[in-house]
Amino acid sequence: MPRPIRATIDVSALRHNLAIVRRSAPDARTYAVIKANAYGHGLLRAARAFDSSEGFAILEFDNAVRLRDAGIGKPVLLLEGFFDVQEMRTAAALGFACALHDAEQVAMLDELAAGQRLDLCIKLNTGMNRLGIPASGLSAVLEALQDHPHVGSLTLMTHFACADEERGVAEQWHRFCEATRGVALSCTAANSAAILRHPQTHGSWVRPGIMLYGASPFADVTAEALGLRPAMTLASEIIGVQALEAGDAVGYGASFVAPRPMRIGIVACGYADGYPRHAPSGTAVLVEGERTGIVGRVSMDMLCVDLTHLPAAGRGSTVILWGQGLPADEVAAAAGTISYELFCALANRVPVVERE
């Protein structure tokens, strides 16, 4: 029998979550965000599940090419644009729209071959201060790009820093609207949090990521409350059991000491599988559907769970680390991170199975 860990991707959950995007932003088209191997869910699997979305947003050039190789002809937006002239030419040849975030990229457009045109999303920095041209520089960039022989369509773009938080989008959205007033171009701004909470920002194209995968963009609202379904379930099995006396320690660093006699299960899942090493004792897991907690440090290939109150559990019992019945958001919060990071960290060595 192979090592029992596996990630199950529920394709119907992916489709369901896209339907929630549709319902939340009925007047916008959707760039389903499938960067980072579709947040760990599998690039082409996700692209197929999201075949009713109008386009895809992605970051890695080679993966964008894989979409075309797989026969996917719909709009593809490269969220960080092109990094060199060769990529720019290939982007134009394959019809990838590119985020354009600095003046150097404008100058590079002259290197396109005769007749080549590139679709561009002009990314404005409206306050996140990551990528983007300053809002005050938009008119100069527009002047350079409108009627440019190598420019195809133009779209206005920005990205929100706090759409999921109390602070919201008001300041950034105000700057965006001020800077783009009177510019008759389509626009794209909303990530998952803005799709769900800030409908004024939906614009022509929305860019959902995390919600498609069934996790919540908000710290204070569960995915379930948003009607989302978890798409990834990470599961494994108990491969050993230990009986502890009071005072016995568990795992590296002997960081957990049994306060009383305990029965613990050893699970074939560790940080080399993508489970967060920083998850503290008590972080929830499901053993045969019953909630319990991990004990001791997560090691590379194993972690330990408390079975003291689960006498029927033992070698071969199914353990769910996150997903069906246990939100990744909850596990992530316990480990001081967000579900995005758990999904993206799913290791290559974990076999993935697909469920319709």
Ligand X SMILES: *Cc1c(COP(=O)(O)O)cnc(C)c1O
Query: Which residues make up the interface to ligand X (CB under 6 A)?
Result: 33, 35, 79, 159, 191-192, 207-210, 217
Q: Least Å distance between CB 79 and ligand X?
A: 5
Q: Which residue is nearest to ligand X (CB)?
A: 209
In the set 31, 35, 39, 213, the catalytic residue is 35
Task: Locate 260 and state its tokens.
Answer: 């009383």
3-state SS, residue 19: helix
Q: Least Å distance between CB 59 and ligand X?
A: 7
Q: Could you give the residue ranges of the DSSP H alpha helices within 146-199?
A: 170-180, 192-197
**By the 8 A CB rule, do 290 and 310 touch?**
yes
**CB-nearer residue toward ligand X: 237 or 329:** 329
Half-sphere exposure of 304 (CA within 13 A, CB side): 23
Q: Least Å distance between CB 195 and ligand X?
A: 7
CA-based nearest residue to 307, from 270, 267, 262: 262
Q: Least Å distance between CB 237 and ligand X?
A: 31
Task: Locate 334 and state its tokens.
Answer: 């316990």
**CB-nearer residue toward ligand X: 32 or 313:** 32
CA pair distance 133, 155, nearest whole angstrom: 14
**CB-nearer residue toward ligand X: 35 or 41:** 35
Q: Least Å distance between CB 144 and ligand X?
A: 23
**CB-nearer residue toward ligand X: 133 or 239:** 133
**CB-nearer residue toward ligand X: 165 or 288:** 165
- Quick check: is 275 catalytic? no
**By the 8 A CB rule, do 125 and 133 touch?**
yes
Please give the backbone phi and psi of residue 104, each rounded to the nearest 5 degrees, phi first: -60, -35
CA pair distance 163, 27, nearest whole angstrom: 20
CA pair distance 70, 270, nearest whole angstrom: 33
3-state SS, residue 166: coil
- Quick check: is 123 catalytic? no
**CB-nearer residue toward ligand X: 79 or 269:** 79
CA pair distance 151, 122, nearest whole angstrom: 12
Q: Find where tokens 């006699």 sit.
A: 261
Q: Least Å distance between CB 210 and ligand X?
A: 4
Hey, what amino acid is at 3? R
Tell me the CA distances in angstroms from 241 to 99, 171, 193, 244, 282, one per residue in order.
53, 55, 42, 10, 18
In the set 31, 39, 213, 252, the catalytic residue is 252
Please list the active-site residues. Answer: 35, 252
